[in-house]
Amino acid sequence: MDDRAPRSPLRLPLAVVCAALCVAGAAHAGSAPPFAARAGLELASAAAQAWSADAALVYVENDEALDGAGVSPRWSYLFYSASEDRARLWSVRGGRIAAAENLDMRFDAPPVASGWLDSGAALAAAERGGGAEFRKDHGGRLETMLLMRGAFSEGDPDETTWTLVYRAQGVPSLFVVVSAADGKVQRTWRG
Amino acid sequence: MRPARVLITLLLALVATAGHPTRSAAAAAADSAASAPGPVVKATPPAAVTTVSVERERPVREKLPTVQFLRANRDFIRARFDRLRLESHDAHAGAGDIDPRFLAYRRLLAEIAASKDSVARASDARERQGVFTSVEDLAALERELDEMERQLDTQRARLGVLQADFAGRQRTELDLVITGGTLAGRVDSVRVTLEDGTSVSSTLTETQRGSLQHGGALEVFCGLVEPREQVIEIALMGEGWSGTGHGFLSIEPARDRLTFLKLDLSQAKPALGIASLTASTWLLDAGQDASPLRAEAGQERP
C-alpha cells in the first residue's frame, strides 16, 4: 500500500512558477552593467566610514569577469581599520552593495594612494605592455585586476600599482604590474 | 500693542535658541506657531512608510564569492607584505586652507551671545521698572519689541545657515525606536546587533515602560550604518521574553539619509514570540525646512 501523502495538484504549477522565478532572478542577477573600478569606490567608502572612521582603502579586485575595457559587473573594495585591527570588504554591483564581510585573514596593508588610475587606463597600459600579445599567442584572457600598494612593486614598495593577471590553458600565467600613478608598466613575469 | 504673551514667547524663543541652536529653534518655531498668530508651519505630506517583518530565523542570503585572487594567494601576498620595511622620510606637509564655514560658526556664536545679552539687558530693565507709568514707556516697550523681532529674524537666518550646512551633509544613519507596551510579559532591556558586529543594549526603567504604555517612544540605537540591505538582530529580554524575544529583520538604509526604524510592541506577547512585533521604516524628509520635529511620530507617521 502506498502510504505517501497524495500529491497536491498545485505542486507542479508551483514548481514551474518557482523555477521561472529562479530563472528570472538569475537573469536579473546577470544583467548588472559592468563599470570601472572607481565608479563603485564612493559607495564602498560610505559604508566603510559607517563601519570605522579610520577605515582606509587597501585593496581592490574584480569579483566577476572583466571585459576588454577593464570593466566588471562587480568589484570588491577592501578597507583596513587600525582602530578595529581588522579588514572588511564591500562588493559593489549594479550601484548597490551586494556583499559585505570581514576578511578572515590578517591584512594590515598600507592604504592605496589617492588618485589612482582607473581600471580602464590600467588595462590599456597592460595590453600594450604584453597583455594583448599573450592573449593572441595563447588564446588567453584577462582574469584578474587588483589594486594595492607595496606587494607587487619591485622598485618602490611605497607605490600603488595595478596587477593584471592573464591566464591561458597549458602555459604559465602572465602578470603585468602597472603604476597606478602614471600608467607605466613596471614589470611583467610569467608564473 | 502686542499682548504680553507674544513678548514672553519671543523672549523665551530667543533665549532658548541662543543656548541650543538647532533643536530649540525648531521647538520655538513650533511654539510660536501654536501660540501666536503668524506664519503657519506648512504641513508636510506623510513620508513613505515601509512595513518590515520580524522573523524568528535569520534570513538566508546568497553568498557571493569575493576577492578570490587574494584568498587564493593569501600566503604569497602576506609574505610580500612581511618583506616590506618601514623607512622614515623627512617631508614637509603644507597647511591646508581652513574651511570658511568653521570661521563663520565662530562669528555666529558671537552674534548669538550678543543677542542674548541684549535681550537679557532689556528684560532686566523691564523688571526693575515694574510698571509702565506713561505713554512714553509704552512707546519704549514697542521699540524693544521691534528690536527683539529683529534679533529673532537674525537668529532665524543663523539657524538657516547651520541647517543648510548640517542637513546637507547627512550620512547614512539609522534611528531605531520602540513604542508601545507589550500585551504580556515585561521587557527589561532591548539589544540590537548590526551585521558588522556592533551591538547596543538599552535597559528600560519602570518610568520608561510606563511611558511606552502611554504612547511614548524610546530610542534604542542611533548611529551610522552601511548603506545596503542588511539584517538586524533584535532581542527583547525580561519576564516571558528571554526565551522567545529573539528575531531578525531586514532593512536597506538609503545612502546619505536618516532612516527611522520603529518597533511597535503594543500587540506583542511572549506566547506569540518575536513575530508579534510590528516594524516599519521611513526616511527623514530632506527638505530645506527639515527639522527634528518632522522626524517625530505623529498621526501622519507611525
Whether A49 sits inside 8 A of B227 (CB atoms) is no
Chain A interface includes B172 (CB < 8 A) = yes
Cell of residue B264, nine digits: 511597535
**CA neighbor of A66 nearest in space, from A144, A126, A178:** A144
Return the amino acid letter for B290: A
Band of residue B292 on the pLDDT scale cut at 50, 70, 90: very low
Whether A136 contacts A82, CB under 8 Å: no
Q: Which residues contact B210 (CB under 8 A, 6 or more apart)?
A: none
Band of residue B19 on the pLDDT scale cut at 50, 70, 90: very low
For chain B, domain boundaries: 4-44+101-167, 171-294
Whether A46 sits inside 8 A of B255 (CB atoms) is yes
Chain B interface includes A42 (CB < 8 A) = no
| Chain A nearest C-alpha distance from B80 (Å) | 5
pLDDT for B135 equals: 73
Band of residue A17 on the pLDDT scale cut at 50, 70, 90: very low
Return the amino acid letter for B288: Q
Q: Which residues contact A170 (CB under 8 A, 6 or more apart)?
A: A138
Task: Give the span between the Cα atoms of A3 and A5, in whole angstroms.
Answer: 6
Band of residue B34 on the pLDDT scale cut at 50, 70, 90: very low
Q: Of the spans A19-23, B15-19, B273-277, B287-291, which averages the highest pLDDT?
A: B273-277
Whether B20 contacts B112, CB under 8 Å: no
Residue B162, pLDDT above cutoff 50: yes
Which of chain B's residues have a Cβ under 8 Å away from the Cβ of A152? Answer: 80
pLDDT digits over A140-149, tens only?
A: 999 999 999 9
pLDDT digits over B64-93, tens only?
A: 999 999 999 988 888 877 777 555 556 666
Whether B66 sits inside 8 A of A99 (CB atoms) is yes
How many residues appear in chain B?
302
Report, at the CATH architecture level, how domain B171-294 is classified: Sandwich (2.60)
Q: Of the spans A36-45, B20-29, B150-159, which averages the highest pLDDT?
A: A36-45
For chain A, domain boundaries: 37-190
Whether A120 contacts A71, CB under 8 Å: yes
Residue B232, pLDDT above cutoff 90: yes
Instruction: Looking at B182-232, list the stretches that DSSP marks H as alpha helix, in order from N- to C-terminal side.
Output: 206-213
Task: Give the span between the Cα atoms of A173 and A142, in whole angstroms.
Answer: 10
Instruction: Looking at B130-198, list the stretches that DSSP marks H as alpha helix, in order from N- to C-terminal side.
Output: 135-167
Residue B252, pLDDT above cutoff 70: yes
**For helices B100-129 and B4-19, what crossing angle results, to 10°?**
140
What global pTM score does this model have?
0.69
Return the amino acid letter for B163: Q
* Separation in Å, CA B276 to CA B246, B261, B272: 11, 16, 6
| Chain B nearest C-alpha distance from A3 (Å) | 32
Backbone angles phi, psi at B172, to 5 degrees: -75, 115
Task: Give the span between the Cα atoms of B30 and B12, in whole angstroms.
Answer: 13
Whether A130 contacts A46, CB under 8 Å: no
